[in-house]
């Protein structure tokens, strides 16, 4: 417990100070703001390795985010709470229902949810069904979100190839068009999972283009995502 608190505090300090040096721009921010104006909660979907900027840009929002029940999850949960997010605990391998129920109850009480759709342990840039199933059960739109930076540091040894924008660079948060899930049938869940995956991959490349980032952000990493293009 002490270890988790110390590590989450260090991470919070690092991300907070580092992010303040980055010139962050938003594109299509009116999409989530439009739903907020209507009083409709939404589901943000993003890659696990592109969370860095989102901690700072969405701080104190109360957005509900799942964290695993592992030791790493303890650190992540502490970090999220320090940034003013809500947290539900549960593992994709065990007690996953616990996190799902927490998200459902949170959304029914008016919370917006954020999910790293290839987390908590990958495979890299492959969307899992959780966000889509949640959208179907609660009739909530999924808003894909991509981040990018003109200059970045990539942690190649991390499974998610975590992208950390360099200090004093240009950063970008790009919101995509909403994805609507009509029902919870197997066919609809599968189709919308594939649609969300394609949308996020397309949005990621678009964000890098707008931010003037290299097309292949993880070019020095051995195991690249399949959608990475040479550059």
Q: Are 41 and 134 in contact (CB under 8 A)?
A: no
231 falls within a domain: no
| Positions of the chain with pLDDT under 50 | 218-219, 224, 226, 229-231
Query: Would you state the pLDDT for residue 216?
Result: 54
3-state secondary structure of 175: strand
Query: 96-108 and 130-138 are packed helices; what angle lies between their axes, rounded to 10 degrees?
Result: 40
CATH number, domain of 200, equals 3.40.1130.10
CB 56 within 8 A of CB 171: no
Q: Is residue 229 part of a domain?
A: no
Q: Which residues span the domain enclosing 36?
A: 2-210
**Residue 34 included in any domain:** yes
128, part of any domain: yes
In a domain, 224, yes or no: no
pLDDT in tens, 98-118: 888 999 999 999 999 999 999
Residue 140 lies in a domain: yes
- Summarised one tens digit per residue, pLDDT across range 163-178 is 999 999 999 999 999 9
- For the chain, the domain total comes to 1
Give domain status of residue 144, yes or no.
yes
């Amino acid at each position: 417990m002490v270890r988790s608190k110390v590590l989450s505090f260090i991470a919070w300090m690092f991300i907070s100070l580092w992010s303040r040096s980055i010139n962050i721009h938003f594109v299509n921010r009116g999409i989530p703001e439009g739903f907020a104006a209507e009083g409709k909660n939404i589901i943000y979907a993003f890659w696990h390795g592109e969370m860095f900027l989102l901690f700072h840009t969405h701080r104190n929002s109360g957005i509900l985010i799942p964290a695993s029940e592992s030791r790493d999850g303890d650190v992540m949960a502490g970090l999220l709470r320090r940034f003013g997010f809500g947290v539900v605990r549960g593992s994709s391998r065990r007690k996953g229902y616990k996190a799902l129920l927490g998200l459902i109850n949170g959304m029914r009480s008016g919370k917006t949810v954020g999910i790293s759709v290839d987390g908590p342990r990958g495979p890299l840039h492959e969307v899992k069904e959780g966000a889509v199933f949640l959208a179907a059960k609660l009739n909530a739109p999924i808003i894909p979100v991509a981040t990018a930076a003109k200059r970045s540091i990539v942690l190649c040894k991390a499974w998610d190839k975590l992208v950390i924008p360099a200090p004093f660079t240009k950063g970008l948060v790009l919101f995509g068009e909403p994805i609507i899930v009509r029902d919870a049938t197997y066919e609809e869940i599968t189709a919308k999972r594939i649609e969300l995956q394609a949308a996020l991959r397309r949005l990621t490349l678009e964000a890098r283009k707008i931010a003037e980032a290299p097309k292949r952000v993880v070019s020095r990493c051995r195991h690249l995502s399949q959608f990475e293009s040479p550059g």
